[in-house]
Amino acid sequence: MPECIECDKEYEEFQENEVDYFIYNTCKECCIKSGIKHKKNMELIKTESDDRILKLIRMCHPTEKGEIYSRYDVMEEIERRGFDLLKGLNWTINLDSIYKNRYTGSLATLKDQLLKVKTELGQETEYIDLGQLFGVLEHYYPIGIWNDSDMFEEYKNKTTQERLF
């Protein structure tokens, strides 16, 4: 439930936690705290290029940098696009491919980043969680296109083996 009088007046009009752009901008902070999104953003983000989505997730909190999309908008869009987003960036989707952390230089397979295990009725099942794909986009590059320009200085002189631990 919204916390302010302005949003509270309009709450009756909220449908499925989405509001129109005017109501959202009337009390943006309250809407964000309440998990309310405006319809315009959710439709607009679908029209953004894959490169733009990558840029937005690497901003960490785009609204703090003047963007209209919240981090959660971007994360939801990444999950919606899934592997098609990686393909659009010309990144490999082979689960065994090596990705390198752009800050530390540590290595991980795509599978390491996305594979989760769920236990149901004592049975463990592995599955790919596309909800974790934002972390790959935010922190990694496929090893074939990685460079050390973003790498933290303290990691640059370490060997690959040292970076793994």
Q: Write the DSSP assignment of the chain as a string of letters.
A: --SSHHHHHHGGG-BTTEE-HHHHHHTHHHHHHTT-EEHHHHHHGGGS-HHHHHHHHHTSSGGGGT-SS-HHHHHHHHHHHTHHHHHHTT----TT-EEEETTT--EEEHHHHHEEEEEETTEEEEEE-GGGHHHHHHHEEETTT--GGGS-HHHHTS-HHHHT-
Average pLDDT of every residue of the chain: 77
Q: Domain boundaries in the chain?
A: 5-86, 92-163
| Tens of pLDDT, residues 102-139 | 888 889 999 999 998 877 888 888 888 888 999 999 99
pLDDT band with cut points at 50, 70 and 90 for residue 55: very high
| pTM attached to this predicted model | 0.68
